[in-house]
Amino acid sequence: PLNTLKNKKPGLATVLGVGKLITNEAPGDIRHVVLSIPEGFHYTEGQSLSVIPPGVDAKGKKHQPRLYSIASTRYGDTYDGKSVSLCVRRAEFYDEEGKEVEEKKGVCSGFLCDLKPGEEVQIAGPVGKTMTLPKENLPTTPLIMIGTGTGVAPFRSFAHRLFVENTVASHMYKAKALLYLGVPVTGGLLYKSEFDHMERESGGRFEAKYAISREMQNKDGGRMYVQDLIKEDGEKLFNMIEDNAVIYFCGLKGMMPGVLEAFEGICEEKGLVFKEKMEEWKKMGKWHVEVY
C-alpha cells in the first residue's frame, strides 16, 4: 500500500501508549509510540508514515510532515491490524556551554515523545518500497540487517514478522536473519529483550550483534562502531549476499563510508571491483539503503 492517506488529507490516529526505550544513563530520549490507526489504513514491514505536528511554525505556516520508519508488523503490536508503532528519538541540540538551543528543537519528535494515551495525531502515508521484505522466495532468503539507533525500527518489524508472530509468514520462514546494531551505551540497546527472546526461540536462525561505541573497542583500539562489526564478518556477509541473502541498512548516514570500505576491501582481495559488484547486487534487489 502507498499513500492511502495524503499529507493534505491526513487521518487521525489515537495514542494507545508511549514508553521510554532507553535507560537514564543512555544519551538522549528514545520512545516507543503505539498509535491506533484509522480504518482502511494499511502498511507493510519496512514502510514509513508521515506525522503532521499540530500548530504553526515561526512564519505562521503549518508544520511540515515528518517521516518515521514503522517499527511494527502489518498487524501492529496489538496483533489486530489496527495499530502502528514508531521508534522516535527526541531531536535536541545543545550549544558549546551545554544549553539547549530552543529554535533547533525537533517539533515533531518532541510532540510524539510527550504524547499521552487518548491524544490524537495526524498521520499520512504509508510510503516507501526501498526497505520492504523480498516478495519472492522470502522463506529461503537470509536477511542481513545493519542499523544504528532508531534505524532499528524496520528491523524490529522484520524480526517480529518472521520470528514472533503466529502467521503463515513466520511458519514458512526457514532462513537465517542477522542483525548488527550500533548504539553509544548498553542502556541504549533498543528492543534488546525482544531480540534476546528471538535468539533463544529461533534455534540459531536469528542472531543479533551489537557495537556499543563508548564501551567496546575495535581491533585498532578505537571505539567500536557497527562498521567494525561488518569488517570482522565481511567475508561471511559477502558470501551470503553472493549466495542468496539480502542486505538492508537503516540509520545514520555516517555508518555508510566505513561499511562500503569494508566491502571494498573484501572485493579487492578477490580481484573484484566493489562498485560493479554493488550495482549488480542493487539490480538483483539484494542491496537496500535508507539512511539520514
Answer whether residue 160 is part of any domain. Answer: yes
Answer whether residue 6 is part of any domain. Answer: no
pLDDT of residue 93: 65
Q: Residue 81 belongs to a domain with what CATH number? A: 2.40.30.10
What's the average model confidence in pLDDT over 167-182? 97
pLDDT of residue 92: 78
Strand partners, 84: 35
Does 252 lie in the same domain as 186? yes
Phi-psi bin for 264: left (phi > 0), alpha (psi -120 to 50), beta? alpha
Does 274 lie in the same domain as 158? yes
pLDDT of residue 157: 99
For CA atoms 44, 252, 176, 136, the dihedral sign is: positive
Does 168 lie in the same domain as 123? no
pLDDT of residue 57: 86
Residue numbers in the known binding site for NADP(+) are 69, 89, 150, 183-184, 213-214, 251-252, 290
Alpha-carbon distance of 227 to 290, in angstroms, equals 16
Q: Is the pLDDT of residue 197 over 90?
A: yes
Residue numbers in the known binding site are 69, 89, 150, 183-184, 213-214, 251-252, 290
pLDDT of residue 104: 58
pLDDT of residue 101: 60
Domain boundary among 62, 96, 127: 127
Alpha-carbon distance of 91 to 37, in angstroms, equals 24
- Give the distance, in angstroms, between the CA of residue 240 and the centroid of all CA atoms in the same chain: 21
pLDDT of residue 223: 97
pLDDT tens per residue, range 252-273: 999 999 999 999 999 999 999 9
pTM of the model: 0.94
Domain boundary among 94, 127, 160: 127
pLDDT of residue 58: 85
pLDDT tens per residue, range 112-132: 999 999 999 999 999 999 999
Answer whether residue 61 is part of any domain. Answer: yes
pLDDT tens per residue, range 6-26: 999 999 999 999 999 999 999
Residue 87 neighbours by CB distance under 10 Å: 24
Does 195 lie in the same domain as 123? no
Mean pLDDT score of the chain, rounded to an integer?
95
Q: Which helix (H) or strand (E) holds 107?
A: helix 107-113
* Residue type (1 letter), 158: F
Is 25 in contact with 108 (CB distance < 8 Å)? no
What's the average model confidence in pLDDT over 201-209? 97
| Structural domain boundaries enclosing 183 | 138-291
Q: Residue 149 belongs to a domain with what CATH number? A: 3.40.50.80
Does 272 lie in the same domain as 154? yes
pLDDT of residue 258: 92
How many independent structural domains does the chain possess?
Answer: 2
pLDDT tens per residue, range 28-55: 999 999 999 999 999 999 999 999 999 9
Q: Is the pLDDT of residue 97 over 90?
A: no
User: Mapping DSSP to helix (H, G, I), strand (E, B) and coil, where does residue 178 land?
Assistant: strand
pLDDT of residue 126: 98
Answer whether residue 133 is part of any domain. Answer: no
Burial 165-181 (b: 16+ CB within 10 A, else e): eebeeeeebebbbbbbb
Q: Is the pLDDT of residue 103 over 70?
A: no
Alpha-carbon distance of 84 to 72, in angstroms, equals 6
Strands (E), 90-245: 120-127, 143-148, 177-183, 206-212
Q: Is the pLDDT of residue 210 over 70?
A: yes
Grid cell for residue 220: 585498532
Grid cell for residue 274: 566493489
Q: Is the pLDDT of residue 102 over 70?
A: no
Is 89 in contact with 109 (CB distance < 8 Å)? yes
Q: Is the pLDDT of residue 61 over 80?
A: yes
Strands (E), the chain: 11-20, 30-36, 48-52, 66-69, 83-89, 120-127, 143-148, 177-183, 206-212, 246-251, 287-291
Does 250 lie in the same domain as 175? yes
- What is the β-pairing status of strands 143-148 and 177-183? parallel
Q: Is the pLDDT of residue 221 over 70?
A: yes
User: At 96, is the pLDDT very low, low, confident or very high (cuts 50, 70, 90)?
Assistant: low
| Residues involved in catalysis | 68-69, 250, 290, 292
- What is the β-pairing status of strands 83-89 and 30-36? antiparallel
Does 230 lie in the same domain as 112? no
Is 219 in contact with 229 (CB distance < 8 Å)? no
Does 281 lie in the same domain as 146? yes
Q: Is the pLDDT of residue 95 over 90?
A: no
Answer whether residue 268 is part of any domain. Answer: yes
Is 121 in contact with 50 (CB distance < 8 Å)? no
pLDDT of residue 44: 98
